[in-house]
A = this chain, B = another copy of it.
Amino acid sequence: MRTFIIKANEAHTRADFKLSDLPGTSGRIDVLCRFLNSAFLLSHGFRKNVRVWLLLYGPPDPPKAIRFEGPELKVRLNPDERSTAKLIMKALKMGEGLREPGKEVEVYPGLYISNRTFEDVIRLTLKNSTLYYLHEEGKPVKDVQFSGNVAFVLGDHKGLDAEDEAFLDGIAERVSVGEKSYLASHVVAYTNILLDSLPSPP
């Protein structure tokens, strides 16, 4: 199992944005759509061995955690941004009024929303996966010996803040796909293809 976690500090936590202007009205939910595309999609197929956590921290009601659970997912994920943004909108609508921190609401089979925090999701992930923080100054990902379930944390276009990084220190090894600063969706596409080439891909 591969888990990809992205913290999106400005992504809106209510479905108050326009599908016709995602970059300008949603706090960059378009970034999350491309992230899902890279995490799950093959040319003629879908990766069932993937879980994605989108951690939305923008206005007006942070945090919201949206979980896409590959093995259970029954709703179709299309490659284009707009149709994926509609799924996120639907999840945000179902998450309105959620109060309990640990409760998940099922939006569709395999798609859930909750008020879980970044720290909650990291702690949950650590229970059954080795955690890595994808960062340009980390150890080259080609030299890492991956085994078992793996999980990767990424920042959005602004990156993680110092507090988040301090929280990850000691529990997530920093690994890097290269020395440049790449878009999160490109990093996930690269990591997926690299993991596919391992003798026992997670």
Residues of A within 8 A of B (CB): 19-23, 30-31, 34, 37-38, 41-45, 78-83, 157, 177-186, 189-190, 192-193, 196-197
Contact A197 B178 (CB under 8 A): yes
Contact A183 B79 (CB under 8 A): yes
Contact B22 A80 (CB under 8 A): yes
Contact A82 B20 (CB under 8 A): yes
Given contacts A80-B23, A82-B22, contact A186 B178 (CB under 8 A): no
Chain B residue contacts of A38, Cβ below 8 A: 186, 189
Contact A183 B41 (CB under 8 A): yes
Given contacts A78-B23, A79-B34, A190-B190, contact A196 B183 (CB under 8 A): no
Contact A183 B42 (CB under 8 A): yes
Contact A186 B182 (CB under 8 A): no
User: How many Å from the CB of A190 to the closest CB on chain B?
Assistant: 5
Instruction: Give the complex CA separation of A173 and B128 in angstroms.
Output: 43
Contact A34 B31 (CB under 8 A): no
Chain B residue contacts of A177, Cβ below 8 A: 193
Most B Cβ at <10 Å: residue of A38, A42, A180: A180
